[in-house]
């Protein structure tokens, strides 16, 4: 791992394929994240983040981050190609490649019903 000065008082730690950025406490995290993402990916009037994956704690934070990215891109006049935004709950599925798809919601519910009915009261 290598500690790097990411500019504007932001510290980053890089390891192969992953970069953790410590944004500080002076502003809301999503605002800082949107600004850093735009700054790091802007080139030739475009902010191309199509290859990036951003993990957020929940879907609401993901929607807010996308809104802030759009606002920042609009303010700076760059064309935005947004990153893939996933939640912490989606991260294991994103990282793990499986041979067979997971069971759907209906099949999971039926399996739980069957399992619970088989348990003695």
Q: What are 16-66's pLDDT values in tens digits? A: 677 778 888 999 999 999 999 998 899 999 999 998 899 999 999 999 999
User: Residue for token digits 């009261």?
Assistant: 121
Give percent of the chain with pLDDT exceeding 90. Answer: 54
Residue-level pLDDT at 79: 95
C-beta neighbour count of 4 within 10 angstroms: 13
CB distance 21 to 10 below 8 Å: yes
- Give the number of domains in the chain: 1
Residue 117: pLDDT band (50, 70, 90) is very high
pLDDT computed for residue 98 by the predictor: 78
Which of 11, 15, 12 lies closest to 1, judged by CA?
15
pLDDT at 121: 77
User: What is the radius of gyration, based on Cα positions, of the chain?
Assistant: 20
């Amino acid at each position: 791992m290598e500690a790097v000065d990411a500019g504007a008082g932001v510290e980053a730690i890089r390891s192969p394929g992953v970069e953790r950025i410590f944004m500080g406490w002076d502003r809301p995290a999503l605002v800082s994240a949107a600004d850093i993402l735009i700054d790091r990916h802007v080139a030739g009037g475009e902010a191309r983040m199509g290859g990036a994956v951003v993990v957020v704690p929940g879907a609401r934070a993901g929607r807010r981050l996308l809104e802030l990215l759009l606002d920042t891109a609009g303010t700076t006049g760059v064309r935005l190609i947004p990153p893939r935004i996933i939640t912490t709950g989606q991260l294991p599925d994103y990282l793990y490649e499986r041979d067979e798809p997971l069971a759907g919601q209906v099949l999971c519910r039926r399996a739980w019903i069957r399992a619970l009915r088989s348990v003695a009261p």
